[in-house]
Amino acid sequence: MGRQAITTKYIGPTNSRGSRVKAKAAAGSIIIPWDDGLDVNDNHKRAAMALANKFGWTGKLAEGGLPSGDGNVYVMVNGDTFPIEKVSVKLRRIVRRMGR
């Protein structure tokens, strides 16, 4: 399987468990306990890194927020990057055609 995005989501506390963060990708998922010594973003990063380590993935992660606002998304970044401008121009053309 090729590269996979990692999504993270906060899981609130229950009567028997404390707060947690779930990281998942197509390959699987992991749930880690919330670390009160870290801020929100660092807790989500830690979960993404834990999942990457679980599968032996290496490299650099780029992060962003999910449109729903209830978590983050992470993708591996290496030499196979591309300029955003080229994608944006192409996307605008596609969106214009869809709106017709």
Amino acid identity, position 84: I
Chain-centre distance of CA 71, in angstroms? 8
Reported pTM? 0.76
15 occurs within a structural domain: yes
Residue 69 is assigned to a structural domain of this protein: yes
pLDDT in tens, the chain (100 residues): 567 899 999 999 999 999 999 999 999 999 999 999 999 999 999 999 999 999 988 888 889 988 888 889 999 876 555 555 555 566 667 767 776 5
1 located within any domain: no
**Structural domains counted in the chain:** 1
> Within a domain: residue 64?
yes
d(CA 41, CA 36): 12
Q: Which domain holds residue 89?
A: 6-99
Residue 54 inside a domain? The answer is yes
